[in-house]
Amino acid sequence: MLRPKYLIYLLLAVVLMSSPAYATYQFFPANACTGGGDALDGIDCDGGAGPPSWEACADGDAGFVVTSGQDVCIYVMDDDAACGGDSTESPCPASVQPDDRSDAAANQCWVLVSVYGNTFTSSGTINGLIQSTEDADGNAALAAGDCDGQIIYNNTQANTYILPAAAAGLNICFYEDSAHAITIRPLAAGDDHIWYNGTDCGEDDDLVGPGTVGSFICLHAKDAADWMSLGFANTWTCE
């Protein structure tokens, strides 16, 4: 869990990467996402009386909430259009409509840009990008941070990729971008298993690609021991 003294570092990094150059970079801490008053939707940025009283918001201003469950919800102000109401994701709604205490609030929306925490559920659509890596450097021992929605495109030579210790939610795809086989190896120290097309390859056993361009496989760790294949092209082999 992120320590409180590091929260401001995280917030600064997100704002600097997310905010347009003309933003005022104002920070609006709130005690909750919704509920009025000192909650995020109670900050209508009208520059007038509160609670709380703030200067007028500009595009790119940031608000953040640390929930009772220690999730950190970071928002950026969109000063161009209304949200149409608060959304219902938990613990951080994807959008929060400021209370309409001013004309400005009708055309403002707090938009979620980052969540740090352990839980997030959605009742709508979450859009995002899948990271991709072109690899021509040879064998690689992967870390958990490499298995959070990544695709590795293998080219120029046969490579072996050692998975990190299985942990629920980790996921990664491998794609043979050249006629060279990929070998995927579970972490021996963790006694982990790869399940291919519903069949357990066995404790610490490899999964090997066919070495044909266009072959791929996507793995998802369902728990602390098992990597499950979610989809693949062409025939892979347990060894």
Residues 93-146 have pLDDT tens digits of: 888 888 765 555 567 888 888 787 666 566 566 666 677 777 766 668 898 888
For domain 131-238, give the fold: Jelly Rolls (2.60.120)
> What are the phi and psi torsion angles at 232 (to 5°)?
-160, 160
**Tokens linked to 137:** 């450097």
**Distance between CA atoms of residues 150 and 145, nearest Å:** 9
Please state the separation of Cα 117 from the chain's center in Å: 11
**pLDDT of 187 over the 90 cut:** no
pLDDT at 83 over 90: no
Q: How far apart are CA 184 and CA 207, in angstroms?
A: 5
> What is the rounded distance in angstroms from the CA atom of residue 230 to the CA atom of residue 28?
42
CATH 2.60.120 in the chain, residues? 131-238
pLDDT value for 8: 45
| Span 45-54, pLDDT tens digits | 665 555 455 5
82 three-class SS: coil
